[in-house]
Structure 1
Amino acid sequence: MSASDQEAAEQRVQDAVRRRARTRAFAEAEDVISAVLSDPGVRKARERVEVAETEMGTELRARLQPFQDRYDQAVAEGDADALAGLCGGKHGRWGRICVLPDGHETSMEEPHWGRTGEGRPIAWVGSAPDDW
């Protein structure tokens, strides 16, 4: 085996070890997150947050429903320009997309607002990526 072949083989081994370590670390993190999220106290806190977000969403609906209507129309018409001007705030895991204009947190001083996957109005603070 030549020196370059040996170096390439060593590099493949190192890469495999790194991948294995990363996969194991992610699996361990998922186990910890699952354990935390399954804790009765954490579940109860999440339920209270959902109730508060639903109440706030319902209270804001009268004032913010026109934004939902514009969003629905833009989706139906495929209006990319209208959709591009929307807030990037979302909770993809829970099927929430903020339908307010980009920058609403400072210009309108409103929380994120939209609908749940089931169609209920909801308001929330903060954002999470789609895959979280």
Structure 2
Amino acid sequence: MSASDQEAGEQRVRDAVRRHARTRAFAEAEDFISAVMSDPEVQAARERVEAAEAEFGMELQTRLQPFQDRYDQAVAAGDADGLAGLCGGKHGHWGRICVLPDGHETSMEEPHWGRTSEGRPIAWVGSAPDDW
């Protein structure tokens, strides 16, 4: 076996060890997150946050509904330009898309606002990626 073959074999072993360590770390993190999220106090806090977001969404509906209407029209018409200027704020895990214009947090001083996947108005602070 040549020195380069031996180095290549050692590199494959190092790469396999790194992959295994990474996979194990992700699995342990996922287990920890699942344990925390299933805690009754965390579940109760989540329910309170969701109730507050729903209530706030209803309070803002009269003023912000025209933005939802414009969003719905742009989606129905396939109007990419109409969708391009929208806020990038999402709660992807819950199917929420903010229908307000980009920069609304500073220019309008409004939280993110849209509808839940069930169609109910919702308002939230912060954003999350689609795959969160």
TM-score interval for Structure 1 and Structure 2 normalised by the shorter chain: over 0.9
In structure 2, the residue matched to 1:108 is: 108
* CA deviation after TM superposition for structure 1 residue 67, in Å: 0.5
Partner of residue 118, structure 1: 118
Q: Deviations over 1:22-58 (max 9, x none)?
A: 0100000000000000000000000000000000000
Alignment of 1:91 onto 2:91 = yes
Q: TM-score, normalised by structure 1?
A: 0.98
Question: What's the % identity of the aligned pairs?
Answer: 86
Aligned to 2:9: 9
Amino acid in the other structure paired with 2:110 = E
- For residue 3 of structure 1, report the CA deviation from its aligned partner: 1.1
- Give the Cα–Cα distance (whole angstroms) in 1 for the partners of residues 97 and 106 of structure 2: 18
Aligned length: 132
Moved over 2 A (4+): none
Task: Give the alignment's Cα RMSD to 1 decimal.
Answer: 0.6
Amino acid across the alignment from 1:40: P
Structure 1 residue ranges without an equivalent (≥5): none
Letter in 1 for 2:49: V
1:56-83 CA distance string (max 9 Å, x none) = 0000000001101111111111111111
Once residues 86 and 2 of structure 2 are traced to their aligned partners in structure 1, the CA distance between those partners, rounded to angstroms, is 58
TM-score normalised according to structure 2 size: 0.98
Instruction: Flag structure 2 segments of 5+ consecutive residues without an equivalent.
Output: none
